[in-house]
Amino acid sequence: MALAVLNKRAKVTEMNIDAETIEAALRQLMELPTPVSSWQVETGSDSTDDPAVWVWAILKDDDVEFKKRSQLRSIIRDRVQKETGSSMLVYVRFRGASEMSRET
């Protein structure tokens, strides 16, 4: 049991990259399946205490077909994992730009 706790702590300390660095890397992505107007990124531990990244892609178009969202989700996960140098969990969510403008 103690070894499992130590392994989880080691995994958390492996994540030495911040949300701003990840967001900057996402802004560099070109030729996406659907236009993204902005990114919101958070890092931390998920419900199982594993290191994780949460990415909200704010889409310019509110009505994007499933296939394009799925392709974009894969691109985002690949980029985050490349940037962090690990296979940590990447939670990707989509919001429409009009949805965001209603909140402000």
What does the pLDDT read at residue 17?
81
What does the pLDDT read at residue 60?
92
Query: Closest Cα partner for 93 from 64, 67, 73, 79?
Result: 73
* Number of domains observed in the structure of the chain: 1
pTM: 0.79
- 93: domain CATH number is 3.30.300.90
pLDDT in tens, 10-55: 443 455 689 999 999 999 999 999 999 999 999 999 999 999 999 9
DSSP 3-state of 20: helix
Percent of the chain with pLDDT over 70: 80
35: Cβ contacts below 8 Å, ≥ 6 apart: 59, 60, 61
- Domain range enclosing 19: 2-103
CB atoms closer than 10 angstroms to residue 63: 6
Element (H, E) at 68: helix 66-84
DSSP 3-state of 43: strand
